[in-house]
Structure 1
Amino acid sequence: MGRHANPDIRRAFAEFQDQDTPSKCSKVRCLHCGFVRAKNTTRQIEHLHACEAYLASPEAQAWHAQNRDDTSMSSGMAPNSVLSGQQPNPNLQINRRGPNNKRARDGQQLAPNINMPPPLAPSLSAHLLTTCAQPFTQATQQPFLSHAGCGSLAPGPLSQWMAQDGHYARGFIRFVGQLLAKLRLPQTANSQFHPMYRTMDLLISALNNMRREMSFFEITATKYGLTMSQEPPTPITRALLDLFVSASSSSASLLEGMVVLWGAEHCYRTAWQYASSFSSSLSTPSTENHIVALHQALIPNWTSPAFSKFIDASRALVDELANITTARDGKEEMARCEEIFRQICWLEERFWPDVDGMGEGDDSARLGPSIGPMGAGIDSGLNNGMANGMNAPMQMNGPQMNGPQMNGPQMNEAQMNGLSNGPMQMNGQMNGQMGAQIGPQMGPQMSNGERSAGGDGRNNFSGLDSVRQNS
């Protein structure tokens, strides 16, 4: 059956040429609802079957008034069935089976079409939070935060954290400035709706927020009499600042930088919300200045609705930028974003100062200038030995160490005394001091295969600053 001109189709659609496509195909636009598609009579008819604007139009009403007769009434068709979409317009019927008339191979009619909601756009932020659920939880549920919420945190860890947060804030301002430099703003109408302009507005807001936060720290310290430590950035803080530099460099995309901005701030909000969840356990208000400052100023600052609104806007922009990215290999860029988010969680977990069960600063899990818990004992033994009696040159490879005097069973007390007065004066100090230092520390570790008491496997490197300066 050949095609023929259909006056209803011509009246309902406007035809035009699409100059933006390579084929410059003909397209039509529904004059009732504005729907645009390629010119196809069958699909146009199907659209009018479901177009509520057309069914409620005067044309459809006029057709119904002209074609109401006894035939339609005797067939059981309701008077308004065409207008409500329950029955197709007979004037638009063609010789084909509609989607609801298809039958399966066994002769049973298939289920009717169901109007499904439009598919949701993919969410990069939801993917990152799902993939990195465990690292994110570890980064936002640290003992420092629970003690801060319970009111049992000591002043020292809070002062240490405030000093490191100051370094973080100053690095954050440079980071946002570099992200602003990466923006390419096109000339467009209604710029407030363009993603690049909205990203610019959010970054400017982030700069203003961080400047207010720096002033907020100074005012809070003065109001509550808090001590602002002047210690330099720890290696973990330096690693966060290095991440800011890397994510805003010319080799990184704008999306990667926005993932860092949203990820770091989202960790902060979630962490302080975790601390706030312990506030109800305070039986009586504390009178200590730093606890009062925590519960009246610091915790409310990062759990406020305004801060949550900023983070939600950042997350929405991350998802939008991910969906409109024009990277040559989008999968590779998504993998980099996931790697960056994991790094943020790892660093944020170690950014909070270590505290013990009483909320005091805990240095037992931190590495000193030597090689860890075992090295601390060795270093202490060596230092004590040198201080107590190593006045002669140390000859570790001489006959006193390798000869029969050390290894043979005939070595008696007199020989040991003789050795202690000879070139190898370190012998007694090494045996005594190292045994006292290494024994209590290595014994449980060697027997049980566990870390030293108080250690949780996190490296805070609190003693490496002096090593770096001296070297």
Structure 2
Amino acid sequence: MTTQGPLTTWLLQSTPQSLKRATTHPFLAAAGQGTLPKSILSQWLSQDRLYAQSYIRFIGQLLAKIRLDSRAANPQTHLAFSPEHQAVDVLIDALVNIRTELRFFESTAAEYGLDLAAISADEGGSALASNDHGSIITTSARISTTGSTSCPGYTGSTCHQDPPVSDLQGDLNSDKSVLHRLCNAQGECQMQAGSEICSPPLETAGLRKKIVTDCEPCIQPGSGGNLASAEPLERGGPVYFSATRITRAYIDLFMSAGSAGVPVIEGLAVLWATEVCYLRSWKYAAAFLKARAGDDKGKEDADGGALKEKFIPNWSSEEFEGFVNRIGEVLDLMSTEIKGVEEGELMRGRCLECWRQVVWLEERFWPIMPVE
């Protein structure tokens, strides 16, 4: 891979498939097609708002690291147009933009009834489906779990019911519900979406009591696996709104790239990477929106119209694209200031690491869409 040419162009060309996955996610297609449920939009928007709040501190860290030349600006040397001065200008604009963005989140959420504190399915939030017994099933990272009234790992009924022990003899595979048990090491359901067991069966023969004894959360300690005396334990714990694991990883990346020991060019690479991915993602959604223009008159979007009327036009606008391009121009300009071939190669390598991490996070920041 050649390292010639602008840094931003080189980064964009370095991971074409990962970038495509990150910016053409099914969430974005549903957003543009008007089929994205309000609950899923709220879950994503609540996390994006947390990301935006951490963005403020990140920009502040980058500004704190820039050292401007103390000499008076000289029209002949264009000192006022140095990479450092341009970086300060674009970072200050980023702060102004994010303040406006946060207010935009709040006003649009209020107008369309979106929840900016929606708990994602990843953290035990709103349901994508429900089982026959009324307990909630949420889907996260392709793992299914059940709600508080049934044994996590079995979505058909509680683990103490159906069938009775007396009916379960011989091959346990004849009753697949028995095989829905917890992974004791993890303390949570490990059933992959679409599968029928949450972990490999203990044995292919024996009584249900054997399974229940090993499914520790299904019975009270000391009951000896006796179904008659066993009472269900409390399922799960308190659920609070907070950053998901991916959002926290994004925030950690910001804090790392903005830390004192990291060159400002790496922080700018992270900033540009997040913004260019965001822009490309919403331009992808906008293409669906444009394609259906005029074809859905009288039909209300699943989210009430927030995406079509507010979010997508804002995040795919020429104004936003111009801002992203300015960040890229400053990044390219600063990269040309690196002296020496070896130093330049090391800088590009570190920026490539930043780019790859952002693209990886971007792909996973979008909520997993329910299976039709």
What range describes the TM-score normalised by the shorter chain of this pair?
Answer: 0.5 to 0.7
Q: Could you tell me which of 153, 156, 173 is aligned with 2:39?
A: 156
2:303 maps to 290
For 1:161 and 1:132, how far apart are their aligned partners in 2? 25
1:220 maps to 108
Task: Evaluate the alpha carbon distance shift between residue 289 and residue 229 of structure 1 in structure 2; reply closer, same or farther with a 3 A threshold.
Answer: farther
Q: Deviations over 1:83-106 (max 9, x none)?
A: xxxxxxxxxxxxxxxxxxxxxxxx
For 1:326 and 1:250, how far apart are their aligned partners in 2? 21
Q: What root-mean-square deviation, in Å, do the aligned CA atoms of Structure 1 and Structure 2 show?
A: 1.7
Q: Could you tell me which of 322, 325, 333 is aligned with 1:312?
A: 325
% same residue? 42
2:353 maps to 339
| 1:55-66 to 2 correspondences below 5 Å | none
Question: How many residue pairs align between the two structures?
Answer: 238
After the TM superposition, which segments of 4 or more aligned residues of structure 1 sit over 3 Å from their partners? none
| 1:215-294 to 2 correspondences below 5 Å | 215-230=103-118, 231-279=241-289, 280-281=291-292, 283-285=295-297, 286-288=299-301, 290-294=303-307
Tell me which amino acid in the other structure corresponds to 2:108.
T
How far 1:290 sits from its partner (Å)? 2.2
Q: Could you tell me which of 284, 301, 305 is aligned with 2:314?
A: 301
Tell me which amino acid in the other structure corresponds to 1:246.
S
- 2:367 maps to 1:330: no
| 1:58-457 to 2 correspondences below 5 Å | 122-186=5-69, 187-190=71-74, 191-230=79-118, 231-279=241-289, 280-281=291-292, 283-285=295-297, 286-288=299-301, 290-326=303-339, 329-358=343-372
Please, which moves more after superposition, 304-313 or 224-233? 224-233
Task: Evaluate the alpha carbon distance shift between residue 277 and residue 288 of structure 1 in structure 2; reply closer, same or farther with a 3 A threshold.
Answer: closer
1:449 maps to none
How far 1:157 sits from its partner (Å)? 1.1
SS in 1 for 2:305: helix
For 2:6 and 2:247, how far apart are their aligned partners in 1? 29
Q: Conserved in 2, the CA contact under 8 Å of 1:236 and 1:347?
A: yes
Q: Conserved in 1, the CA contact under 8 Å of 2:35 and 2:302?
A: no
Q: Deviations over 1:329-371 (max 9, x none)?
A: 221121111011011000000000010354xxxxxxxxxxxxx
For 1:289 and 1:224, how far apart are their aligned partners in 2? 11
Q: Deviations over 1:413-444 (max 9, x none)?
A: xxxxxxxxxxxxxxxxxxxxxxxxxxxxxxxx
For 1:214 and 1:315, how far apart are their aligned partners in 2? 23
SS in 2 for 1:321: helix
Q: Conserved in 1, the CA contact under 8 Å of 2:63 and 2:91?
A: yes
Tell me which amino acid in the other structure corresponds to 2:352.
E
Please, which moves more after superposition, 284-293 or 309-318? 284-293
SS in 2 for 1:153: coil
Tell me which amino acid in the other structure corresponds to 1:352.
W
Give unpaired runs (5+ residues) of structure 2. Answer: 119-240
For 1:302 and 1:322, how far apart are their aligned partners in 2? 27
For 2:316 and 2:80, how far apart are their aligned partners in 1? 28
How far 1:302 sits from its partner (Å)? 0.7
Q: Which has the higher helix share?
A: 1
Answer with 1 or 2: which has the greater Rg.
1
How far 1:248 sits from its partner (Å)? 0.8
Q: Conserved in 2, the CA contact under 8 Å of 1:226 and 1:289?
A: no
SS in 1 for 2:360: helix
Tell me which amino acid in the other structure corresponds to 1:189.
A
Please, which moves more after superposition, 233-242 or 279-288? 279-288
Tell me which amino acid in the other structure corresponds to 2:106.
E
Tell me which amino acid in the other structure corresponds to 2:292.
S
Q: Deviations over 1:124-172 (max 9, x none)?
A: 0101111111111111010000000001111111000110011100110
TM-score (norm 1): 0.49
TM-score (norm 2): 0.61
SS in 1 for 2:259: coil
